[in-house]
Amino acid sequence: MTSRQTGAPPKGTVTAEGRHSLPETIEITTRLSDRDSGMKDLAAEQTAHQTRADLAQMTTPPPLMADSNNGISYGLRGTLEVRLAASPADVDAAQALRYHVFYEEMSAKADAQTSITRRDVDRFDAICDHLLVIDHSETDKAGKPAIVGCYRLLRQEVADLHGGFYTAGEYDLAPLFAGTGKGLRFLELGRSCVLPPYRNRPTVELLWHGILLHVAEHKLDVMFGCASFEGTDPEALALPLSYLYHNHMAPPEWHVRALPDQFVEMNRMAKDDINPRDAARRLPPLIKGYLRAGCYIGDGAVVDPQFNTTDVLILFPVAQISERYKAKWQQKYGTPRVG
């Protein structure tokens, strides 16, 4: 599974099914941090109260450090652990993993510096929380437990202090932040990738368990980011792009549009000409997962020649997460029912 920006994101998201089945047991350590609510209206405030009530039922150790980058563990499943990066060495290992997936396995075009360092690096790495999946049954070249998957998480209060979000380079987020999103707290998901042997449901579920705990502990309201299709020919992607446009476009109050100079029309086929089953088979697994959980899609795709992808915007108000998925994660992992 890959997603350069949100999941193959440095910008996009591409996933693949893999192998491995892991035990169904999981141990969870949770940290909660305080903040003021900041909801827009009474309904949203009632939702926030319900979320806090759910969290209050959990055992809560002391709060996280302000930057969350202290390696706190979010869960263990068999030999796999999901946790935040604990050191610069952890971040370096995640960058090496991203290089392997994006540049060696896929067909991203490396500049001279990237080729020399064999690392996928950009300026956002220094300000993000890095969520890692670690296999304690495998070791890396340094003899440490191997990092086999990662996500990059950027909270709005951090982005605002450091020049904004990565996604703002492809989509116009300003109207959203000034409108429906005013007073809400956003989390950008990006640079997601998983090694081929671990591209399976247990690994993906463990990553999402970690993300939802991160959302709960920071009282976040909206997740978003870019997800990617392999390839840079929108016409070759006419079926899945049109399917997303006609069936999952964000409603007017959540509308986000690609920047004018990068906008690629997604409405390339009439709705009546689309076979939903054929379209679903063309969707990357990560995008399928987002859709099942209840995400919206932004207006317009963006072609990224460097990474050989066509990106779409994923927009995920936490309150919109499918009740079925909330119940599944709470029952299976004890994940707080966010939203």
Distance CA 33, CA 201 (A): 29
Q: Is the distance from CB of 265 to CB of 300 less than 8 angstroms?
A: yes
| Structural class in CATH, domain 2-332 | alpha beta
- On the question of pLDDT at 37 being above 60, the answer is no
The answer to whether 228 and 234 have CB atoms below 8 angstroms apart is no
**d(Cα 100, Cα 68) in Å, to the nearest integer?**
26
Q: Where in the chain are the domains?
A: 2-332
- Report pLDDT for 52: 33
For residues 9-22, b (16+ Cβ closer than 10 Å) or e, as one string? bbbbbbbeebebeb
| Residue 326 confidence (pLDDT) | 66
Query: What are the tens digits of pLDDT across the range 7-30?
Result: 333 333 333 333 222 222 222 222
pLDDT at 43 over 70: no
Give residue 104's Cα distance to chain centre.
Answer: 22
- What is the pTM for the complete model shown? 0.78
Q: How confident is the model at residue 197 (pLDDT cuts 50, 70, 90)?
A: very high
Is pLDDT at 172 greater than 60 in this prediction? yes
The pLDDT score that the predictor gives to residue 53 is 36
Q: 């949203």: which residue's tokens?
A: 44
When pLDDT is cut at 50, 70 and 90, the band that residue 170 belongs to is very high
